[in-house]
Amino acid sequence: MTRQSLTRLALVGCLVGIAVLAFAPLASDPGTGNDKLNHLLAFGVLAALADGSFPGPGPGQGWGKWASLVAYGLLIEGVQFFLPFREASGWDLLADGAGIGLYVVAARLVAWLRAGKTRPAMSSANPRRGA
């Protein structure tokens, strides 16, 4: 089994596990004990798994993946709206997006650092203004 196949399997497992936790009548929040932090971490992990499962033009790139995860978060909130023992929240969706965003920023930063990029040198053809 390839690494990409294992990552896709992990992604599906996390999607199912998160759905079960989101729709179950739980007495308290599992995980960190903080609902918004749980959303942030869960969607950060989902973003990493989606990025590994469906490599795009580069690490942290591929808006279709991120839009799909936001849609998944919206689906969860939509289902929770109709569950009497759960509560839908726009704040949860915002935390989902923040988790995805943090992953994207971190992935791009790591890729940039691995590439050894430094600040571009100024060429004589494009001198700084006012210097």
Mean pLDDT confidence for 45-58: 91
27 DSSP 8-state letter: S
Mean pLDDT confidence for 52-76: 90
Residue 83 inside a domain? The answer is yes
Residue 124 inside a domain? The answer is no
For residue 126 the two structure tokens come to 């494009």
Residue 122 inside a domain? The answer is no
Residue 8 inside a domain? The answer is yes
Query: Residue 131 above 50 pLDDT?
Result: no
Residue 9 inside a domain? The answer is yes
Q: Are the C-beta atoms of residues 102 and 110 closer than 8 Å to each other?
A: no
The total number of structural domains in the chain stands at 1
Residue 102 inside a domain? The answer is yes
Query: Residue 117 above 70 pLDDT?
Result: no
Query: Domain range for residue 33?
Result: 3-114
For residue 116 the two structure tokens come to 């050894």
Query: Residue 118 above 50 pLDDT?
Result: yes
Q: What is the pTM of this model?
A: 0.83
Mean pLDDT confidence for 29-36: 84
